Amino acid sequence: MPHALAYGAQSATTPLARLTIERREPGPHDVRIDIVNCGVCHSDLHTARGEWAGTKYPSVPGHEIVGLVSAVGAQVSKFKVGDRVGVGCMVDSCRECESCREGLEQYCEKGNIGTYNAPDKHLGGHTFGGYSTQIVVDENYVLRLADNLPFDAAAPLLCAGITLWSPLRHWQAGPGKKVGVVGLGGLGHMGVKLARALGARVVMFTTSPGKAADAERLGAHEVVVSTDKAQMAAHRRSFDLIVNTVSATHELDDYMALLKRDGTQVLLGVPPTPYPPINVGRMIGTRLAIAASTIGGIEETQEMLDFCAEHGIVSDIEVIPMAKINEAYERMLKGDVKYRFVIDMATLKAEGAAA
């Protein structure tokens, strides 16, 4: 069985360290990808540290994967060796249920197969993600990267990008709509860029006053420091849509108050602890909705990548060597990242060669 180098956690309390994992030989429908970069999502941290129930160890995170196809199975028709490709948060789904047939594999009724921490039907055990030199994936769950998308800055599109694109499209962010984006991190900064490119009026909500100038540079028409009650009150009942990317629990009511009649707040962040209760009286008073959304289907992920290639949209990144991943997690927790860490996988190959 072929092996690959990876970084993973052996338990919720141990730092990530180098390990060797198995990757299957490409089957008839599989492509093998030599990973060039992998983005660092807050979900990686939640998972590696066991903040959500059910982490399987060793845990090898990473679902913002980009690289080059290095082998293809006999029946692969969409990709050839040398193609520039990406893999996001899923590597399989049932392909038969209503959601899969509608191209919404992320909502597969049998559960989509996550790129990491999901049952591995090929090798047994669980799937290992993109903090690794290689991955083998069914061609139907592989995305194509246009030539003008740089590997490193495009990597975060595979999770952060699609996680914002899908709800922005579903709730029709566009001209004439006022859209709020809460939390200026990996997801939030893609939300600002995409909502702006879709033609909406965009307001960024941040707890970090120091990020205000950046938010405008990224495309926000206005920035609100959410801890400032007067700034918040100035936007009462004015939003069509608010997409909330915050990774920790907080008062959702503060944002419900900013929605106009028929407005929707979409939850994208998945804090490990519950949110405080929501004021239903306010919700019925203006027919408000609270919703949630996860990543996006394969077809819409390709649509988002092509939109980004056409509009020159990529992530703002800080490239790190694999060995700095634990430090990067600590900095992410402090909000000290502008605005996505991306691992240079050549550094992991070099570690392996030196070992």
- Contact of residue 295 among ligand NAP, Zn ion, none (CB under 5-8 Å per partner type): ligand NAP
Is residue 301 part of the contact set for ligand NAP (CB under 6 A)?
no
The correct pick among 69, 85, 332, 348 for binding ligand NAP (CB under 6 A) is 332
CB burial string 133-153: b at 16+ within 10 A, e below:
bbbbbbbebbbebeeebebbb
Is residue 42 part of the contact set for ligand NAP (CB under 6 A)?
yes
| Residue closer to ligand NAP (CB basis): 335 or 352 | 335
CB 63 within 8 A of CB 118: no
Is residue 67 part of the contact set for ligand NAP (CB under 6 A)?
no
CB burial string 287-317: b at 16+ within 10 A, e below:
ebebeebebbbbebbbbbbebbbeeebbbbb
CB 340 within 8 A of CB 317: yes
- Contact of residue 55 among ligand NAP, Zn ion, none (CB under 5-8 Å per partner type): none
| Residue closer to ligand NAP (CB basis): 58 or 183 | 183
| Residue closer to ligand NAP (CB basis): 134 or 315 | 315
Report, in angstroms and rounded to the nearest whole number, the Rg of the chain calculated over CA atoms: 20
- The token pair at 148 is 């003008």
Task: State the Cα–Cα distance between residues 162 and 169, nearest whole angstrom.
Answer: 10
Q: Which residue, among 345, 338, 293, 286, has the nearest Cα to 315 in the 3D structure?
A: 338
Q: Give the three-state DSSP class for 267.
A: strand
- Contact of residue 46 among ligand NAP, Zn ion, none (CB under 5-8 Å per partner type): ligand NAP
Q: How far is the CB of 113 from Zn ion (least distance, A)?
A: 10
Is residue 231 part of the contact set for ligand NAP (CB under 6 A)?
no
Q: How far is the CB of 86 from Zn ion (least distance, A)?
A: 13
Instruction: Show the binding pattern over residues 78-97: x = contacts ligand NAP (CB under 6 A), - = does not.
Output: --------------------
Q: Which of residues 147-176 bind ligand NAP (CB under 6 A)?
A: 159, 163
Is residue 225 part of the contact set for ligand NAP (CB under 6 A)?
no
The correct pick among 184, 192, 198, 288 for binding ligand NAP (CB under 6 A) is 184
DSSP 16: P
Is residue 224 part of the contact set for Zn ion (CB under 5 A)?
no
CB burial string 74-106: b at 16+ within 10 A, e below:
eebeebeeebbbbbbbbbbbeeebebbeeebbb
CB 202 within 8 A of CB 221: yes
Is residue 43 part of the contact set for Zn ion (CB under 5 A)?
yes
Q: Which of residues 257-276 bind ligand NAP (CB under 6 A)?
A: 268-271
Q: How far is the CB of 64 from Zn ion (least distance, A)?
A: 7
Contact set with ligand NAP (CB under 6 A): 41-43, 46, 159, 163, 183-188, 206-208, 211, 245-248, 250, 268-271, 294-295, 332, 335
